Amino acid sequence: MTDTTTSSSAVAVLGIGLMGFPMGQRLCEAGCAVSAWNRSRTKADRLAPFGARVADTAADAVRGADLVITMLENGQVVEDVLFHQGVAEALRRGALVIDMSSIQPRQARDHAARLAALGVHHLDAPVSGGTVGAEAGTLAIMAGGKPADVERARAVLEVLGRVTHVGPHGSGQLAKLANQMIVGITIGAVAEALLLCEKGGADMAKVRQAISGGFADSRILQVHGQRMVERDFAKRAAMTVQLKDMRNALNTAEEIGFEAPITALFERLFAEAADHGLSDLDHSALFVELASRNGMA
């Protein structure tokens, strides 16, 4: 996996959580000189055995870095880390910030403009594939920004997955919103369909097997559908993150004058699931909310 491009890259990773940790590990194993920071230092310390330098502050982590990868909770946190914790000032001119967090497109465009005024390049490059994809290096990476910056980052990003340049600043976040709209809506469709079958007396597992390979098949049916069959809702992608993304999609739709009634319906369903105590579960636990509405265990 190591090549001369990645092994010569000084990469700072800000945010060592469910996604940031396996991504940081892969970068270390690819030979990158990784510096890591997390608000809770103990999470960043997990990368030290793989060769990462663990920094006490985000600003310290980015000093001297060629590339800075952020994998943070939301746009407000990205704003705070970049512009209120000394990161923007600590970045060298010509550095490239690759924001792989899921935030609103307008926030990504604003961050890009503010960094450009300091001589710093920017890509918004959110991902799809969850922790499984992060561990395997098979993430779908949707990059918005200048083509030259995508090419500059390509060797490092390809350690993490498959990168596609989808347009100017903010476009990566638009693609991620599209991804999350499809994921959330399809989780709901699969859950409702399987519950209908179970309520009517069919074997839910067998129904899933029967429709696999047909037009209704999807990765959601295969992965999340199996979680529903097994009632396994341990968090891989959080219910709260799915809800945040649906709300970001609706906010963006309102900004550009686009009506999104299907997304609005599922935003309400995910919100009610969170209100009913499912916040700390996987987003496939929308199944539990729909089961409860139908008096099913």
113 burial (CB, 10 Å; 0-12 / 13-18 / 19+) is exposed
Secondary structure element (H or E) that encloses residue 219, with its range? helix 219-219
pLDDT in tens, the chain (297 residues): 444 456 568 999 999 999 999 999 999 999 999 999 999 999 999 999 999 999 999 999 999 999 999 999 999 999 999 999 999 999 999 999 999 999 999 999 999 999 999 999 999 999 998 888 999 999 999 999 999 999 999 999 999 999 999 999 999 999 999 999 999 999 999 999 999 999 999 999 999 999 999 999 999 999 999 999 999 999 988 899 899 999 999 999 999 999 999 999 999 999 999 999 999 999 999 999 999 999 997
Sequence-distant (≥ 6) Cβ neighbours of residue 166 within 8 angstroms: 142, 143, 144, 172, 174, 175
pTM of the model: 0.90
Task: Give the closest residue to 183 by CA, choosing from 236, 144, 229.
Answer: 236
Which domains occur in the chain, in start order? 4-167 (3.40.50.720), 174-293 (1.10.1040.10)
**Catalytic position from the list 176, 199, 206, 244:** 176
Please tell me what DSSP assigns to residue 167. Answer: E
Alpha-carbon distance of 245 to 176, in angstroms, equals 9
If one counts every other C-beta atom within 10 angstroms of the C-beta of residue 111, the result is: 25
Is residue 235 part of the annotated active site? The answer reads no
